[in-house]
Structure 1
Amino acid sequence: MDPADALALLMSPEGRVDPYPTYERLRAHGPVVQAGPVFFVVTGYAEADAILRDARFGVMDDALRDQFLPGWRESPAILSISRSMLRTNPPDHSRMRRLAAGAFTPRRIAAMRDVVQAQADELIDAMLAAEGPVDFMAAFAYPLPVGVICALLGVPAADRPLFRRWATDLTGVLEPEITEEELAVADRGASELRAYFTELVAARRRAPADDLTTALVQAHDGGDRLSGDELLANLIVLLVAGFETTTNLLGNGLVALLEHPRAAALAEHPEFAPGYVDELLRYDSPVQLTSRMSTTPARYGDVDLPPESWVIVMLGAANRDPRRYPDPGRFDPWRPQVHPLSFGAGPHYCLGAALARLEAQVAFPLLLRRLPGLAVAGRPERRVRLTLRGHATLPVRVGREASPVTVPGTPPGAAGPTP
């Protein structure tokens, strides 16, 4: 199968639901392959990591959007994404990222561990109280991270159920291909999110609070550091990115854990969680791809990339590059030296990566410890998405709660995943 045909298969519903066989078809042609006149696909780990850090590559700017997406300014979804730090280059990207970074310092993230555990415990209590199987995505994987990011932004708890549909609609615009009908749905989600945050911004102007929304409003009102469009766009992206990736990590990760015979070790030894979570990120990445445009000639993997080449960096494929990870299709929580590219690399490395890792590191040991009978109770339904890979539904049987125990520390000489 030539690269163009493989890429077409990857964009089909079948290819999106399970992209990994198609990645191998692409990889057979090399770590970087040309799939069109100025269109390239990267599946190699070393090449993906280097391109994401290479200053010769950036995200699509307004001039290129005018060339490839005429009329994009009329789309609320594309406009919202393009005015955020997600789709801007330095110096604008650096300026916007710096304004939000204070909410994601290592110290502030570490201080949230108890809050995350308390929320996770409450959600498990509710799962235990339910009769029959529950949808893990609706009962736990969505409400945990949305509660955390909404607390950071200062979004009232009563409004949190609104965001799942709005975000699902909006994130369709992140797919490498989108139909007019899908774009209309994305525009609807973006419009509703913009209307919501317009009201929240007005509320924070009237009554400032100790939250990230107030900090960004004050940055906008204090001068030219953040425009009005940038303010709304970044609030939307911070909200959506703050839970969408983690929701998918929790769903994808739980399936992998429940299928693995040694997962019980994580319940007994939560200190192993960092290694488990990094391997889960590698094995089934919640973000499967990102894109870059080259500004000057470059050469990667024996392939010449001319200026204005559009490069699709397949993060999910790079995470399974056999040159980097032997037997990459096997989930192995004891695998050494795991450094997944699921959160990207370089200037656009995910601002909330440490928060997402913390939530998963708290959630998985707690779920396995309190719910030793947890099991998949039906056929999970995958979302037909390629960029953001996750489940629409994941029915689980909760079983009975384990008797309270004191979680032991690591016994002398015990081996565990590399943190």
Structure 2
Amino acid sequence: MDAAEALALLMSPEGRADPYPTYERLRAHGPVVQAGPVFYVVTGHDEADAILRDPGFGVMDDVLRDRFLPGWRNSPAVTSISRSMLRTNPPDHSRMRRLAAGAFTPRRIGAMRDVVTAQADDLVDTMVARAEGGEPVDFMADFAYPLPVGVICALLGVPAADRPLFRRWAADLTGVLEPEITADELAVADSGATELRDYFTDLVAARRHTPADDLTSALVRVHDAGDERLSGDELLANLVVLLVAGFETTTNLLGNGLAVLLEHPREAGALRDHPDLAPAYVDELLRFDSPVQLTTRVSGVDTRHGDVDVPAGAWALVLLGAANRDPRRYPEPERFDPWRAQLNPLSFGAGPHYCLGAALARLEAQVAFPLLLRRLPGLAPAGRPRRRTRLTLRGYDTLPVTIDTRAAAPHRGTPAGAAPATP
């Protein structure tokens, strides 16, 4: 199978369901392989890391969108993403990123541990209450989504009552991040983008009238200062992206990670007994089944990577999920091994576009997995989970589990025998 055929397989329903065998077909052609006239696929860890850090590569700009996506300005989904830090290059990217970075400093993230722990404990209480009748519960709906959405909404100042709205809107919008999208899928993404933009238009107006101690109020103040640091379109676009990116990746990390731990009871038991191992476990879970599988870059100059000449104007499909299983860096990469000495997975990217919320996502997972294993020792899979039909954002739609409510440990600070919180 040549590289172009393997790439076509990767984009198929079969390839999306389990991309890892196809990554190996592509890797057989080299860490960087040409798969089209100006299209290159990157599977090597070091090569992916170098390209993501190379200032000669950037994300698609308006000129390229006009060339390859005629009519994109009529798409709410594409325009929303394109005006955010996610799809802009320096200096605009650097300017917008600096404005939001204050909410994600190590000190502020570290101070959130107790809040994340309390929310996770409450969600476990709810799962136990739902399982009292012996029926399975959906881990994605009852824990993996509400934990990160609650955390990012608190940072943004989104009222708790509004949080259930965002799962569908975000799922619709993120279709535009896929490497291929049909007209029908784009229409769905446009609908999600419109709903999200309308919501944040109202929230911005509310925070302008009544400021609060949240990131939305801070960005509104920057915009209203009138010094051109943040335009109106950029304000709304970045609020949308901060919300969506703030929970989509972490939701998938929690779902993918729990599925792996349930398949590896020995390793799960070690984490239950030694929660201080959580940072290494989370990095290995990120490597083993990354919640973000790919990103794209465009070369602005003639360059060379992986012994392959890449001309200016070429597209690079950087397969993060493949790079995380490069055997040159990770011996036996198909084996889940939280005791690996060298990790540095590329799941959050690298270089200027390294995920702004990576430390927050890691914190949530480092809290969640030991807590789940400690409080729910009888946690087990129940039936067949359903994967999302996406490649860029890899995760589950549903992940049913059973809970042995008799073995469930009480909430810390809750007297033994006290009733858990009701849903």
Q: TM-score, normalised by structure 1?
A: 0.96
Match of 1:225 among 223, 229, 234: 229
Q: Kindly state the Cα deviation for residue 405 of structure 1 after the two structures are TM-superposed.
A: 11
Q: Does 1:168 align with 2:171?
A: yes
Q: 1:201 to 1:404 in 2, by over 3 A?
A: closer
Structure 2 counterpart of 1:156, one-letter code: P
2:72 alignment partner AA: W
* Residue equivalent to 1:313: 318
DSSP-derived class of the 1:251 partner: helix
| 2:263 paired residue number | 259
Deviation at 1:25, TM superposition (A): 0.2
In the alignment, the residues of structure 1 paired with residue 305 and residue 340 of structure 2 have an alpha-carbon distance, to the nearest angstrom, of: 28
Residues 1:382 and 2:387 aligned together: yes
What residue in structure 1 maps to residue 191 of structure 2?
A: 188
Q: For 1:17 and 1:31, how far apart are their aligned partners in 2?
A: 23
Distance apart, 1:336 and its partner CA: 1.1
Residue pair 2:128, 2:408 contacting (<8 A) in 1 also: no
Q: Aligned residue for 1:112?
A: 112
Whole-Å separation in 2 of the counterparts to 1:403 and 1:10 = 43
User: Secondary structure at the residue paired with 1:35?
Assistant: strand
Distance 2:172 2:55 in 1: 32
Letter in 2 for 1:244: E
SS of the equivalent of 1:263 reads helix
Aligned residue for 1:392, secondary structure, equals strand
Which residue number in structure 2 is paired with residue 91 of structure 1? 91
Report deviation, 1:369. Answer: 0.2
The residue aligned with 1:59 is 59
Contact kept in structure 1, 2:275 and 2:370, CA below 8 Å: yes
Q: Cα deviation per residue 1:79-132 (whole Å; 9 max; x = unaligned)? A: 000000000000000000000000000000000000000000000000000131
Residues of 2 paired with 1:405 and 1:79: CA distance?
Answer: 45
Question: Alignment partner for residue 137 of structure 1, among 112, 135, 140?
Answer: 140
* Alignment map for 1:184-333 (pairs within 5 Å): 184-223=187-226, 224-260=228-264, 261-333=266-338
Shift of 1:154: 0.1
Letter in 1 for 2:124: I
Cα distance in structure 1, aligned partners of 2:150 and 2:410: 26
Match of 2:355 in 1: 350
Runs of 4+ in 1 over 3 A off after TM superposition: 401-406
Q: One-letter code of the match for 2:46?
A: A
Aligned pair in 2 of structure 1 residues 405, 173: CA closer, same or farther (>3 Å)? closer
| CA distance in 1 between partners of 2:215 and 2:378 (Å) | 39
Q: Deviations over 1:43-88 (max 9, x none)?
A: 0000000000000000000001101101100000000000000000
Q: How many residues matched?
A: 406
Does the 8 Å CA contact 2:140/2:255 hold for their aligned counterparts? yes
Q: Do residues 13 (structure 1) and 16 (structure 2) align?
A: no
Unaligned runs of 5+ in 1: 407-419
Question: 2 CA distance for matches of 1:334 and 1:172?
Answer: 35
Alignment-mate amino acid for residue 191 of structure 2: R
Q: For residues 232 and 409 of structure 2, what CA distance do their matches in structure 1 show?
A: 53
Quick one: distance in 2 between partners of 1:405 and 1:37?
Answer: 58
Distance in 2 separating the partners of 1:402 and 1:124: 9
Structure 1: how far apart are the matches of 2:399 and 2:410? 27
Q: Deviations over 1:219-262 (max 9, x none)?
A: 11112100011000000000000000000000000010111122
CA distance in 1, matches of 2:410, 2:397: 32
Write the deviation string for residues 139-179 of structure 1: whole angstroms up to 9, x where unpaired. 00000000000000000000000000000000000000000
TM-score (norm 2): 0.95
> Which structure 2 residue ranges, 5 or more long, are not aligned?
413-423
**Out of 142, 155, 162, which is 1:159 matched to?**
162
